[in-house]
Structure 1
Amino acid sequence: MRKVTVYITLKQGVLDPQGKAIQESLHSLGYKEVQEARVGKYIEMQVEDGTDIEVEARVKQMCDKLLANPVIEDYHFEVEGAVRS
C-alpha cells in the first residue's frame, strides 16, 4: 500500500466566500496582517502498490473524475515513496 495525499484548491480568480469569511474573522480578532485566505480540500488515501506511473495515472483519473472540479479547481498530489526522475 502507498499513501497518496491530494491537495485541491480553487483556481486563481474564482471567488472563495469561505476564505473571505475566514480572512474577515481573523481581522476581527486582530490579525490584520492576513491579506488573503483561501480554503481547499486535503485528501489522504491508501492505494494498492504499482509502478509510479500506474499509481500516478490512476490518482490523476480519480481527481479528474471525482475528487476535483477541473473547471474551478486545481489539484496536485504526492505519492509516498514515488521515485521521480
Structure 2
Amino acid sequence: MMTAEDLKRIMREGAGQDEAVDLEGDITDVTFTELGYDSLALLETVSRVEREFGVRISDDIVTVAKTPGEFIGLVNQTLTEVR
C-alpha cells in the first residue's frame, strides 16, 4: 500500500518541491495546485508510482485526484484490485 510519505518522496524526486511549500506536514487534503504541482508534475508522479509499485495507473487519476489523499486512495484501490 502507498502511504503519504511514499507520495511525498516520489513527488520530491520527480517534480521537486516549491520552496514556499512545506510537504512535511499533513498535506492529504491540500490541493495539488496549492502545493505547486501541475498536471505534468502529476504525470511524472504517476509514472514513478507505476515503476515503484509495479502497477498500471490510469492517466485519468491526474484529473480525478485533486489532493494527495485522493491520489493515494485511488492508487491503493488499484493496488488492491491488481493483487
TM-score by length of 1: 0.30
State the structure with more CA Rg.
1
Larger relative contact order (CA 8 Å, sep ≥ 6): 1
Name the structure where helix makes up a greater proportion of residues: 2
- Return the TM-score normalized by structure 2: 0.31
**Which has the larger strand fraction?**
1
